[in-house]
Amino acid sequence: MAEVEAEWRPGPSLTSVDGILRYVRESASSIFHPVGTCKMGTGPDAVEDDELRVHGNGGLRVVDRSIVPTLISGNTNAAAIRIGEKGADSMLQ
């Protein structure tokens, strides 16, 4: 196993708390799979119906993982594919 000889990021010259916080704010990003921002349902907080149509917006549909209420414990790829298939089927009818 190779030994670590020097700090790569943010670098040994960064020593202040403010500098470290600034580095984190500027370089951090989400590696998670955001879900649940466009709830499907009939309640007052629901964005779309079970045919993926946005309430009160004619033909607008949201066909992505945002309709999933909570993050599943596995990869979200299969859910995204199925939601896309459901959306395509709904639009073709």
Question: Which of 10, 33, 41, 80 does the annotation list as catalytic?
Answer: 33
Domain ranges of the chain: 32-92
Whole-model pTM: value is 0.60
Take residue 6 and report the two structure tokens written for it: 């020097």
pLDDT bin (cut points 50, 70, 90) of residue 53 is very high
* 3-class secondary structure, 71: coil
What is the per-residue pLDDT across 22-43, written as a single tens digit (0 to 9) for each?
999 998 887 777 788 898 988 8
Phi/psi class of residue 56: alpha, beta or left (left: φ > 0; alpha: ψ in -120 to 50)? Answer: left
- Counting every residue, how long is the chain? 93
- Phi/psi at 53 (5° precision): -90, 130
Whether 33 is a known active-site residue: answer: yes
